[in-house]
Amino acid sequence: MSVRRTVAQQIPGLVPGIFFFAMALGAAAGSATLDLAVDLFAEGSWAAAHVEGLRVQAEVSGPGANRAQSLAAVSSLRLDAGRESAKDVLANLWRAGSADLETRCMAAYEYGLADWADGGTNAAAALEFAYLETRDTPLFWRAGCSLYFYLKADKPLRESRPATWRSLQSCRDAWPLAVWQECRPRKPRGPSVASLPGRWIVAFYRAQIGPAIGSRCDLQPSCSEYFLQASRAHGWLGVPIMADRFVREPSVVSAREKPVAMPDGRVRFADPVSDHDRWLKGKP
């Protein structure tokens, strides 16, 4: 996992706030052409929303194109793909006087969050712009709450913006609890301690043994991945689950059920962990 992604997980608004953004954009769109892109965004289909946003951007002009561009860029951020160019797009939208004010505010808010996640220096200015300029209440709450947490963690920055800080403190009581929870920075959750031995064994196998003997497993997922998944899900129980698979492997292969065509042309046989640990989780 990249450092950037780890940091991004601590920043508010990247995962929650999806519906807020989609609703705000949908309300601002005022055009049927962006409906599908907004729906896809609200569903969390980032890649599809990104493509759809670009498609609408190419088809329309004026404010609609700006909104579509904003949605495509935010989808790209959610995907964690093309992050820098997406940030550039949002920064341009924020600073461009040609876009309508609400689109600029939304772009500034999203850019501020992304810049905060990346440890940039423009986050405060972007969030402050969104907080001070927007006429959209949910965006006003979120931009304010995010800016509050951002400034709270940085005393010099806070002291350089005394009026904004006083304003944030005076209106913080109006923010709903859900907004507080959404905007609060979260610490990333690491892997469970119980899964560590399994992860070490697999890491050793993949680094030292796998390259020497090549890909030998006929099952999908591969045995090392299976062990990893089982260890993640069940800690030390991953050991007997893996041993059971080693014993079963020839029978599963000879049964030739559930064939899976791999990208390299090989055929493997599906044997997911979920087929063998349902009873550990209880009935669905």
Interface with other proteins (CB under 8 A): 32, 35-36, 39-40, 43, 45, 48, 52, 237, 239-244, 246-248, 250-251, 276, 278-279, 284
Minimum CB separation from other proteins for residue 47, in Å?
Answer: 9
Q: Would you state the structure tokens that stand for residue 74, as one six-digit string? A: 């935010």
135 or 279: CB nearest other proteins:
279
The neighbour count for residue 185, using CB atoms within 10 Å, is 15
Minimum CB separation from other proteins for residue 51, in Å?
Answer: 9
Minimum CB separation from other proteins for residue 24, in Å?
Answer: 20
Minimum CB separation from other proteins for residue 48, in Å?
Answer: 6
88 or 244: CB nearest other proteins:
244
87 or 245: CB nearest other proteins:
245
Minimum CB separation from other proteins for residue 162, in Å?
Answer: 47
3-class DSSP state of 145: helix
3-class DSSP state of 62: coil
Q: Would you state the structure tokens that stand for residue 179, as one six-digit string? A: 């907004």
Distance CA 163, CA 8 (A): 28
The neighbour count for residue 132, using CB atoms within 10 Å, is 16
159 or 244: CB nearest other proteins:
244
3-class DSSP state of 218: coil
234 DSSP 8-state letter: H
**To which residue do tokens 């209440």 refer?**
137
Q: Would you state the structure tokens that stand for residue 125, as one six-digit string? A: 């200015």
55 or 158: CB nearest other proteins:
55
